[in-house]
Amino acid sequence: MIGKCLLWVVVFCFTQSNISALTNSTVISNLKSRIHFVPQSGALIKSFVDHSQSYIYDQALAIIALTRDGDKKTARKLLLGLKNLQNSDGSLYFSYYLDGKSPYPNEGDKRYAGAIAWVALSATTYQKIFHETEFLNFNTKLLSYLSTQIRPVTIKDKEFKAISFAPSDLKETSWNESEVAALEHNLDAFSAFSLFAKINKVKMYEEQARVLKEFTVALWDKSRSHFWSGVNLKTGAINKGELYLDNQSWSTLALDQETIQNLNLKTALEMNCDQFLVVDKEIKGFMDSKPANRPVGQAFVWSEGSAGQILAMKKYHQIQNEKTNCQGNDQKKLAEEIKKMATTDGGIAYATIKNSDFTTSSSVAGTAWYYFIANSINPFNPEENLSIE
């Protein structure tokens, strides 16, 4: 066993007792151990143990998990930390150092719509669960900023509106972020607008949710029975070169029952099982993406995405009373596989490989999403209970 572990990454070498000890208390304690409090300024959470960045998406996940666990005090501190970093236009940068400074905009104008939408979603979840309006103005500014990022786009001679990826082009990439609308980001924003409008009775944001849902459905490919990842806002061209795990799982979690039934998202979830279910380091789970018409270059397991697929399978089962055929693997079995990614600090490793995009480090995202599957929580909608087995 020891020799075998030396060939892998030591983070995955555990005894069965370590794995079975992964309780709610352990997971929440791990999230709280990462929090860095700033006097009179709230708190930020350390996304990965091997570097000192706090990504606002991770901050939002932690807020939702802590809120659903009933820890109002800590969730409030994390929201306060973001509120004190909010730009005058209502936006937030993609990440911050634990002292509240950010590598942006000096290293590029990274104000990604999806991450900002998750912060809005977390603030509304906090408001709903605790019946607390302290962050209502902060949240309104977030959604107001996102509204300014909605652009017109023509797809197959039909007019739509969509949230752009980011407000300006980033020189480090080969594509222009301001000219792209990602399905994933629009699902995030749809959920943020929709939940806020429902709780606060704001017709304007109800309308924003409606138009973003229309755009989302426009990226459904009837002939292939799955969603494509995005569109060029200038040309209306749909990106059909890549497949992404989250496009099918997050759409199932974000969209309403009627839309899910009309589109028959079971086929999309089963495509994820066929295209992305792999085994790496003796752990079975899902990788993130692949070229549409070629095999993947390197197979690995991604904890965050795997948890999203498991929850989506649960939601579809609950709606249709029908399990997704995932190569003989049900939700419970796949959740047990994610538990194998538990690290010695009580968190969940982000992935089974380490490269420029992924790490084997204990992560907020993997840990929070594991909490969601362990407690049948849909982070897109605090009103849904996905407890069906």
pLDDT at 297: 75
Residue type, 81: G
- Sign for the CA dihedral angle at 365, 367, 373, 375 comes to negative
Query: What one-character DSSP code corresponds to residue 35?
Result: E
Task: Identify the band that residue 8 occupies on the pLDDT scale cut at 50, 70 and 90.
Answer: very low
Number of Cα atoms under 13 Å in the Cβ half of residue 84? 18
Task: Identify the band that residue 224 occupies on the pLDDT scale cut at 50, 70 and 90.
Answer: very high
Residue type, 358: F
Task: Identify the band that residue 389 occupies on the pLDDT scale cut at 50, 70 and 90.
Answer: low
Average pLDDT over all residues of the chain: 93
User: Looking at residues 324-329, what average pLDDT do you find?
Assistant: 93
pLDDT at 229: 97
Number of Cα atoms under 13 Å in the Cβ half of residue 132? 15
Reported as type and span, the H/E element at residue 192 is helix 183-200
Joined tokens for residue 381: 């909608």
pLDDT at 106: 95
User: Looking at residues 259-279, what average pLDDT do you find?
Assistant: 95
Task: Identify the band that residue 39 occupies on the pLDDT scale cut at 50, 70 and 90.
Answer: confident
Residue 294 neighbours by CB under 8 Å, 6+ apart: none
CA distance to 14, 53, 258, 344, 346, per residue, from 27 (Å): 16, 20, 34, 11, 6
pLDDT at 6: 35
**Is a pLDDT exceeding 70 seen at residue 146?**
yes
Buried/exposed 13-41: b ≥16 CB within 10 Å, e otherwise: ebeeebeeebeeebbbebbeebbeeeeee
* Cβ contact 286:353 at 8 Å: no
Distance of CA 347 to the CA centre of its chain: 17
pLDDT digits (tens, 9 = 90+) for 203-218: 999 999 999 999 999 9
pLDDT at 388: 59
- Sign for the CA dihedral angle at 369, 371, 374, 380 comes to negative
Joined tokens for residue 370: 């594991």
Task: Identify the band that residue 266 occupies on the pLDDT scale cut at 50, 70 and 90.
Answer: very high
pLDDT digits (tens, 9 = 90+) for 286-310: 999 999 887 777 899 999 999 999 9
User: Looking at residues 233-246, what average pLDDT do you find?
Assistant: 97
Number of Cα atoms under 13 Å in the Cβ half of residue 222? 2
pLDDT at 15: 37
| Whether this model's pTM surpasses 0.85 | yes
Q: Sort 224 into a burial class: Cβ within 10 Å, 0-12 / 13-18 / 19+.
A: middle
Joined tokens for residue 1: 């066993």
Q: Which domains does the chain have, with CATH numbers?
A: 1-33+264-379 (no CATH), 52-240 (1.50.10.20)
